[in-house]
Structure 1
Amino acid sequence: MIKYTSIKELCDAATKRGIKISELCLEDQAEEMQLPKEELYAMMEKNFDVMVESVKKGNDPNLLSTSGLTGGEGAKMLRYSDRTGGGLSGSFMTRAIGRAMCVSNCNAAMGRIVATPTAGSCGILPGCLVSMYEDKGFSKRDVVMSIFTAGAFGMVIAQMASISGAEGGCQAECGSASGMAAAALVELMGGSPASCGDALGMSIINQMGLVCDPVAGLVEIPCIKRNVSGVVIALSSADMALAGIDLKIPVDECIAAMKSVGDSMSVNLKETAQGGLADTPTARALRKKVFGE
């Protein structure tokens, strides 16, 4: 059985057997849960279907969050992409970040989402994978299988560091989600298990130290926009790994460094809404608007 205590363990095991990390994870989970592999695959496929549905629900310009602070950001981005032919970033990128925002909008409006790994970072993996499915034409089965790789890497991060903003800052939420997405993207593109690990590490180092400072204590501002940066970092990290660019610092050391940074971070910067953007004059005024004095 896999211990999920290091990325190297997963990558080495998959490489030794000549299989993908997703295949290794599916086999391991089937053995541990005493369920057929196809039954577990079907469960994961339902999760992907929810991701697709949350993009569609969030793509409603009139959908407002329960607080009223946000709504329509994803719809605006997708329409901007269509109107400008992709804007400055290109059609695939702008549609991916638009989908990520749609999922975050769905979450803020109390819609159904898949927390990958958290509600605050829920748009990053769907933004990437739904785009690979709908815009790049990857098969649904391959996309669903890549989620097993993302999940396996997320399990390692959860055990060896944290996926909680309250414990490790936003680096633990959006940083982890971005790394999970980058690994899934590399696998989809035919990259090696080691390259998947490198992509995860590159995503983490690019969000090291990211604080969690939700305005009014709600996962809306700046969380929705940070899901966008998570998508961009995931895609760029995947491309760097696929290009053969060396991570230099082993991925498991990157995860350990993220934990160290999170442990040393002020409590004001870890989801308490007492520091960072949450402590600006405008943010304090928004908090009063939502909750009163």
Structure 2
Amino acid sequence: MKIATAKDILLIKETHNLNLFEIALQYEVSNSDLDQGVIVDTMARQWQIMKQAITLGLDPDNQHLHGKILGREAIKLKTSFESGKSICGETTSKAIMYALSTMEVNMAMGQIVAAPTAGASGVLPGTLKALQETYHLEDSKIIEALFVAGLVGMIIAKQASISGAKGGCQAEIGSAASMAAAATVYVLDGTMEQSFDAAAIAINNMMGLICDPVAGLVEVPCHKRNALGAANALLCAEMVLAGLPSMIPFDEVVQAMKQVGDLLPACHRETATGGIAISKTAKAIEARIMNDE
């Protein structure tokens, strides 16, 4: 099975009457020597790792969960949420909290799942775990959604990039938000077209976002951008499910993202030589880290 675009997938749907999960699974089978059971079990293990990272990041006893700049911020959000101070509502507040939690495990060199990258690893699990709790979804449904997210990410990787070093942060957090938006629509029983619309809007919302990591570390601004990615995914899914379509097709949005990424100067593509990475405070943080080492 050959898939390079959303258009290819929509054609398969018309000719074979398959949903996004089924197409993703068949794609994996046709491009590997593994059977469906093994492939699904492998994805199930990825979901377990995602959940474990969320739990670990929110464990108040894990005081060692620090990067070189940040640490223990998700637990502060959890405390605020549990005290009834949430502004965003339960699902979105949990999604951003879980996204931050996952990223803190990543910053501490713990085990996470790149989705699609380590620097964007909080968006998808944060979104799906929050949805699972709100809508009482079985793990099996979430695992299907992970296949859907992977399918969207694969198209982006083929047509553009998922690398901040190549396409800026739009290629990492933007892609992760796109994947999570499509997965959200899927678990809430939207159509295939709606999944791609949500994915398109999510990228549109982050088009042109640069990659400017302070001290070259995946902490600032990456950590909080994962929270933004999760919130973006949910709002895009909500708009689409309410009947607000993307005016630009997903494939064209991905092409636009590639064009924008190609135009970004090197200083805005993960080199820590532009954006906030060269601000006065950022350079002071970098100097402190260098001295500590």
Q: Taking structure 2 as the reference length, what is the TM-score of the superposition? A: 0.96
CA offsets 1:157-208 (integer angstroms, 9 cap, x no match): 0111000000000000000000000000101011111111101100000000
RMSD over aligned Cα, in angstroms? 1.3
Deviation per CA, 1:22-55: give whole Å up to 9, x if none: 1111022113213221111000000000000000
Q: Unaligned stretches of 5+ in structure 2?
A: none
What is the match of residue 129 of structure 1? 128
Q: Distance in 2 between matches of 1:96 and 1:215?
A: 24
1:7 Cα shift? 1.4
**Which residue matches 1:70?**
70
The aligned runs of 1:1-293 (5 Å cut-off) are 1-3=1-3, 5-61=4-60, 62-67=63-68, 69-84=69-84, 87-292=86-291
User: Which segment is superposed worse, 24-33 or 179-188?
Assistant: 24-33
Structure 1 stretches of 4+ with a deviation exceeding 6 A read none
**Contact 1:77–1:95 under 8 Å retained in 2:** no
User: TM-score normalized by structure 1?
Assistant: 0.96
Aligned partner of residue 135 in structure 2, secondary structure: coil
Distance in 1 of aligned mates of 2:226 and 2:117: 11
Q: Deviations over 1:198-220 (max 9, x none)?
A: 01100000000000000000000
1:233 offset after TM fit, Å? 0.6
Identity %: 39
Kept in 2: contact 1:20–1:187 (CA 8 A) = no
CA distance in 2, matches of 1:236, 1:13: 28
CA distance in 1, matches of 2:229, 2:10: 23
Q: Distance in 2 between matches of 1:63 and 1:79?
A: 19
Note if contact 1:132-1:138 (Cα within 8 Å) is conserved in structure 2: yes
Distance of aligned partners of 1:16 and 1:244 in 2 relative to their CA distance in 1, 3 Å threshold:
farther
Letter in 1 for 2:73: E
